[in-house]
Amino acid sequence: MIASAIERSREHETLAVFRKTKSESEPDGGGSSRRRRSIDFDSSDAAVLASEIDVWVTHNRPKLGEVMLEIGAVDPDDLIEALQHQKANPTAEGMARLGEVLLQLGKVDERELAAALAQQFGIPFADLQTARPEVEALERVGEELARKYKVIPLRIEGDRVFMAIADPLDTQAIADLTHECRRIGLMMGAKGDIERLLDESYNVLMQAEGLIQAFELSDADAVRPVTDDDFAADDNAPVVQVVNRIITQGVRSRASDIHIEPGEKLVRVRFRVDGAMSEAIQLPSRMAAALASRVKVMSELNIVERRRAQDGQFAVAVDGRPVDIRVSTAATVHGEKVVLRLLDKTKSLISLKDLGMPPTIEAPYMKIVKAPLGMLLCTGPTGSGKTTTLYATLTEINDPTRNVVTIEDPVEYQFDGISQMPVSTTGMRFADGLRAILRQDPDVILVGEIRDEETARIAMQASLTGHFVLSSLHAVDSVAAVHRFTDMGIEPFLVASAMSGVVGQRLLRRNCVSCTKPFTPTPAEVSMVAEAVGHQPTKWLRGAGCSVCQNTGYRGRVGVYELLPVTDPIRELIVARATHHELRKVAIQEGMRTMQEQAFELVLDGVTTVDDVLRSVYAPGVDRAAEEPRELTAGAAALPEGGPALEMGGIPEESDGSSDEPDDPRDLSGGKSAPGAARAEAIT
Ligand SMILES: [Zn+2]
């Protein structure tokens, strides 16, 4: 509350300055470019508007470089470097803009650039980290125009619509926006911030009211069984549009999963973003069956079958980006629950270097990965980033001299020069696919996940006969992989000889770089960190919550890892059927740094919070509780006895299909925090 009050007052402050300076500078037409002159365009006379725009564009202003030096955004060396770069790299249209070059060279971020441009153009800089666009302003401009010209309408004063723009020299934008709104006032905003606010502000779910009412009306007369015809063709049917909007907003909100959950009184729609669930919208419970049926039609499932769980998939494009959606349905007491897993096809691959593995892990990891044969496993619960790590590893070892083949469910990213075999669409099992691959002379094989004894056995034999095998396994930590295999029925000697290394991992939420602030820790937090790493952070930091992180305090994620190299002492222990505890103890003696240690180090560095460590990483008491190996079977979560209430996110069974790996490679941008819009954009 207090924070938002401060934000509010700050907004008004900006505005006040704006008003004052405007009246000061207007009479002389902005003769002194140092003065803050707001631009105010009026469309009532087309000729006047055209000349106003012309004056605006040709107005004599200080050079951007000078302004940046003056406000201390760059130092002279940076500027000289940028100017030389600008000269040496002309674009098709001539010289690249200096601001673009500085951005490109990483000398400034988008917000610094926008602040400098505001200064140069004499217009206010809009602080879009705290801004709350007003609905009337948003509606006046309209989503289409706002997106087209990348402006975010902020407020209306009198008859003037204030908006933040990223490119103050976009004359077409100024002309069209003025025609639409009649009078506009321009402010400078960072491009990434504007894009983010566009996605948040034109939240398609906020405008779903009318559709819900339409549905209620159309359905009010009859409680009758739903048939295929109800959903077959009518794109304008309210339920069709509601589902489309849910998916659109899910993609725009960076959700990895969308849950449509019927309850007694209402249907709850929740998004999973950065590993945590949050509510997106509530719908009347009467819509439950129609929503489920619509999704089933889209994914070509049997809509009459309501009790049996079903899996399907379909593809859509949202804002021009292709998105694959995997669907799973399951009957609950209040109707069918539908979970959509979103796979963004345009997401870029992350390299091993950018995973954020500490050097102490990366070096031995590379040694294992570069070996001609062996077996490397990635372990962790659902959503711990296993696929990301496997893909990053694959890019590292893929070269034209090797035959690299994958078998996956599903294929999440398509590589050049690698044969990838999907299991789900073909109805083929992992074991069958793996046998087929082995007949095709592979060097490196990626098996998406090992779920059963047969697959495990074939993969291990492949590793022992001169192939390098990469795979993932649902297990709580690196050591637990051993017992997962023996519990499947694989002989310990086979496990010991086939495996060359196991990575255990989790994803933690990153403190939002836009609102990270010092805070006073609770005694529990202090003692937990003391117990884990022996000392306290110099500064306790966490995200206070802002519009960039939708007030969660977190944005993006960071990985923590532990690596178990299968050395001779470890091999002997595996063959001797050592317990999880014994194995882990020896591994730590041999130098394994646990992911818990790493997680708490991130707390020391102010990258994440104790809360999130407890939420995602198995924390204190892990070794004591792990003495009972049975708890590692069947992918069940093993929680430490008497430890704090840890939410493991379950290690859900595959069948819930909810979210195997909402891994987003872009979430792991290597730990180098570039505060500001450029970064926010990179992970959007
Ligand atoms: Zn924030």
> Distance from the CA of 104 to the center of ligand 1, in angstroms?
25
The residues pairing with 419 across neighbouring beta strands, listed in sequence order, are 405
Mark residue 623 as left, alpha or beta (left: phi above 0; alpha: psi -120 to 50; beta: remaining): alpha
User: Tens digits of per-residue pLDDT, 238-288?
Assistant: 888 889 989 998 988 889 999 999 999 999 999 999 888 989 999 998 889
Q: How far is CA 268 from the centre of its chain?
A: 22
| Consecutive H or E run containing 422 | strand 419-422
Scan for tokens 């302004």, then name that residue: 67
What stretches of 167-284 adopt beta strand conformation (E)? 183-188, 257-262, 266-273, 276-284
> Distance from the CA of 675 to the center of ligand 1, in angstroms?
11
pLDDT of residue 677: 33
> Distance from the CA of 491 to the center of ligand 1, in angstroms?
50
What stretches of 616-665 adopt beta strand conformation (E)? none
> Distance from the CA of 552 to the center of ligand 1, in angstroms?
7
- Which one, of 650, 644, 652, 651, lies nearest residue 625 by Cα? 644
pLDDT of residue 227: 52
- Which one, of 148, 144, 146, lies nearest residue 161 by Cα? 146
Burial 523-551 (b: 16+ CB within 10 A, else e): eebeebbeebbeeebeebbbbbbbbbbbe
- Which one, of 668, 539, 556, lies nearest residue 606 by Cα? 539
User: Tens digits of per-residue pLDDT, 435-478?
Assistant: 999 999 999 999 999 999 999 999 999 999 999 999 999 999 99
> Distance from the CA of 517 to the center of ligand 1, in angstroms?
10
Residue 223 and residue 225: Cα distance in Å, rounded? Answer: 7
> Distance from the CA of 680 to the center of ligand 1, in angstroms?
10
> Distance from the CA of 352 to the center of ligand 1, in angstroms?
27
Q: How far is CA 253 from the centre of its chain?
A: 9
> Distance from the CA of 6 to the center of ligand 1, in angstroms?
15
* DSSP SS3 for 504: strand
Q: How far is CA 173 from the centre of its chain?
A: 31
Q: Which two tokens stand for residue 43?
A: 């469309």
Cα dist from 262 to 293, 578, 620, 621, whole Å: 13, 46, 36, 37
> Distance from the CA of 271 to the center of ligand 1, in angstroms?
18
Low-confidence spans in the chain with pLDDT less than 50? 1-37, 220-226, 231-233, 622-684
pLDDT of residue 416: 82
Residue 121 and residue 62: Cα distance in Å, rounded? Answer: 8
pLDDT of residue 42: 83
Residue 304 has phi, psi (to 5 degrees) of -80, -30
> Distance from the CA of 550 to the center of ligand 1, in angstroms?
7
> Distance from the CA of 421 to the center of ligand 1, in angstroms?
40
Tell me the one-letter amino acid at 243.
V
> Distance from the CA of 130 to the center of ligand 1, in angstroms?
9
- Which residues have a beta carbon within 5 Å of ligand 1, which is an ion? 512, 514-515, 543, 546, 548-549
Scan for tokens 């711990």, then name that residue: 384
> Distance from the CA of 106 to the center of ligand 1, in angstroms?
22
> Distance from the CA of 325 to the center of ligand 1, in angstroms?
29
Residue 339 and residue 271: Cα distance in Å, rounded? Answer: 10
Residue 431 and residue 92: Cα distance in Å, rounded? Answer: 53
> Distance from the CA of 681 to the center of ligand 1, in angstroms?
14
> Distance from the CA of 60 to the center of ligand 1, in angstroms?
38
